[in-house]
């Protein structure tokens, strides 16, 4: 049986942009608002009119956009002390934003009233009541954010409640209790929300929480369970300091785990896509460890876990990953067993038997390579090459005879040049192919020379380009003898794949990754997939 309906209020475009390193252009914000609308978010807070040119531009642009579900909210504060609502420039800008919803915040905590606003408790009450009534008079749906409510409640319960009463008297449609400092614990928040619910039985309540104690999601859910029917948060937990309550965790918890009705529940399978889209526009790499939507959220590494998940998925998965648009992943490492290898291979279109007599030696090989610094979790193509060589008897199509690299740096200029000489022998042939190539760096020169050496024998490799290159130093306490792990991302214009290498020499580690990239492309071509 479904619980009551809960409204989702997104403040990524306003509160989320207060995070360090997060910035959206006005057009980015319109794009994000459209994506959130398609997903079924109820309220989208667009920004604070007048606070900066970008937000003013956004409200100008968004007037021309038609939304199918979401309401756009402009955000601002109550009037200034001892200034009438008609003369308050900030309230006028909220009206000029021309949104159907306006969210304003006011002071709840006496500390802020007397020490920050430098006004009296009575004037603050009037500021709240007057501002809400003014906006309601101009046909706006008003959501009142009670800033620092939980701190204010603990300091002076009676006064904190009186500020809510003032907002309701002004005509606010929602009262949102804000844990602005992010320090309230779950039980305390539950108790306070329940008290407010009892004091204002008919008032629609919301909660706005931050993640300073790592409890942003937990306290938001606790607020709903205690009687609130609106939850505010941001996509991927963006926000000032360590972030706001994360809607990509709150939404599936409310709908899937707790049974509340959300207007976005019919689009739940698009949650991961929405999360990734927000990160993409913010130019951030999606967090692998994000609950529900992260790449590692349903990843299995230990052999026992993978074996159990293969037989009964929910034995190690709290829900089907497809419900939020995610997928199960099997990771290969020195902790893997035969079941992990079989499941991983099957996902890659290679069918092997976990009872194969070759399995034991393959697991030994995997564990040896992992111990040497190779990492197959993020290098599926290297694992695929190893799989084919071991189980399918696909011998190396080529072997490296030798390579030599000379690097030149001309001091006082920007000139950096590397030259690579590569000698390769094709399988079954005695003739050695030699090629020389130059590039701005040694790895680029090695890559160009190797593909030149293949020449007419493997023309398909001319399609392959190195598009990303990552280096990690392992065992850093060994100084220059440390193991270098290299991850290479390659592309043929349609598909991309990662390969890995590891050695005390960064050049040798790079060659191993490049070698696997070539072999993977050739194997795909033989299969008809590349």
Q: Which domains does the chain have, with CATH numbers?
A: 7-281 (3.20.20.70), 299-372 (no CATH), 373-396+464-530 (3.30.160.340), 398-457 (3.30.160)
Residues written for the chain:
530
Position 528 scores a pLDDT of: 62
Position 457 scores a pLDDT of: 83
Report the SS3 class of residue 9: strand
What's the CA gap between 441 and 443, in Å, rounded? 6
> Pairing state of beta strands 465-474 and 432-439?
unpaired
What's the CA gap between 315 and 177, in Å, rounded? 38
What's the CA gap between 204 and 4, in Å, rounded? 12
- Those residues of the chain that have pLDDT short of 70 are 1-2, 301-314, 330-337, 339, 394-395, 475-481, 528-530
Report the SS3 class of residue 231: strand
Position 1 scores a pLDDT of: 44
Return the exposure string of 291-305: e unless at least 16 CB atoms fall within 10 Å of the residue's CB, then b. Answer: bbbbbbbbbbbbbeb
Position 454 scores a pLDDT of: 83
Position 88 scores a pLDDT of: 96
> Pairing state of beta strands 299-300 and 230-233?
unpaired
| 330: Cβ contacts below 8 Å, ≥ 6 apart | 299, 300, 306, 309, 340, 343, 344, 347
* Sheet bearing 483-491, strands edge to edge: 465-474, 483-491, 496-503
Specify whether the backbone of 86 is left (phi greater than 0), alpha (psi in -120 to 50) or beta: alpha
Position 311 scores a pLDDT of: 58
Chain-centroid distance, C-alpha 420: 40
What's the CA gap between 482 and 316, in Å, rounded? 36
| 153: Cβ contacts below 8 Å, ≥ 6 apart | 108, 160, 161, 192
């Amino acid at each position: 049986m479904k619980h009551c309906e809960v409204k989702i209020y997104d403040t990524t475009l306003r509160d989320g942009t207060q995070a360090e390193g997060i910035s959206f252009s006005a057009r980015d914000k319109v794009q994000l608002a459209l994506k959130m609308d398609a997903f079924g978010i109820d309220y989208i807070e667009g920004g604070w009119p007048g606070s900066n040119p970008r937000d003013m531009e956004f409200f100008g642009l968004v007037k021309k956009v038609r939304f199918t579900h979401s309401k756009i909210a402009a955000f601002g504060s109550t009037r200034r002390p001892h200034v009438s609502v008609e003369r308050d420039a900030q309230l006028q800008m909220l009206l000029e934003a021309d949104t159907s919803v306006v969210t304003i915040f006011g002071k709840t905590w006496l500390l802020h009233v007397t020490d920050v606003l430098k006004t009296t408790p009575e004037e603050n009450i009037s500021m709240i009541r007057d501002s809400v009534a003014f906006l309601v008079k101009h046909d706006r749906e008003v959501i009142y954010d009670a800033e620092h409510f939980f701190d204010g409640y603990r300091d002076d319960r009676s006064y904190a409640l009186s500020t809510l009463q003032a907002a309701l008297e002004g005509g606010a449609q929602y009262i949102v209790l804000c844990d602005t400092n992010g320090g309230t614990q779950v039980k305390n928040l539950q108790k306070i929300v329940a008290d407010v619910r009892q004091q204002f039985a008919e008032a629609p309540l919301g909660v706005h929480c931050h993640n300073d104690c790592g409890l942003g999601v937990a306290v938001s859910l606790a607020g709903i369970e205690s009687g609130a029917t609106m939850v505010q948060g941001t996509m991927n937990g963006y926000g000032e300091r360590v972030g706001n309550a994360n809607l990509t965790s709150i939404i599936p918890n409310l709908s899937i785990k707790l049974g509340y009705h959300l207007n976005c529940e019919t689009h739940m399978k698009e949650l991961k896509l929405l999360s990734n889209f927000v990160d993409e526009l913010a130019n951030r790499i999606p967090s692998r460890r994000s609950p529900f939507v992260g790449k590692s959220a349903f990843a299995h590494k230990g052999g026992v876990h993978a074996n159990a998940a293969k037989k009964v998925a929910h034995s190690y998965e709290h829900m089907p990953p497809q419900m939020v648009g995610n997928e199960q992943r099997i990771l290969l490492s020195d902790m893997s067993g035969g079941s992990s290898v079989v499941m991983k291979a099957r996902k890659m279109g290679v069918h092997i038997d976990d009872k194969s007599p070759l399995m034991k030696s393959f697991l030994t090989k995997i564990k040896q390579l992992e111990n040497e610094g190779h990492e197959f979790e993020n290098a599926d193509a290297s694992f695929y090459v190893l799989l084919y060589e071991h189980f399918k008897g696909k011998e190396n199509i080529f072997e490296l005879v030798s390579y030599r690299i000379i690097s030149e740096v001309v001091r006082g200029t920007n000139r950096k040049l590397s030259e690579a000489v590569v000698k390769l022998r094709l399988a079954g042939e005695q003739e050695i192919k030699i090629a020389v190539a130059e590039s701005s760096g040694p790895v680029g020169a090695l890559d160009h020379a190797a593909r030149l050496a293949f020449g007419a024998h493997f023309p398909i490799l001319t399609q392959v380009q190195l598009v990303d290159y990552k280096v990690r130093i392992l065992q850093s306490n060994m100084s220059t003898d440390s193991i270098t792990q290299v991850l290479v991302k390659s592309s043929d214009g349609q598909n991309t794949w990662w390969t890995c290498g590891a050695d005390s020499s960064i050049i040798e580690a790079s060659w191993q990754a490049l070698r696997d990239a070539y072999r993977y492309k050739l194997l795909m071509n033989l299969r008809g997939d590349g």
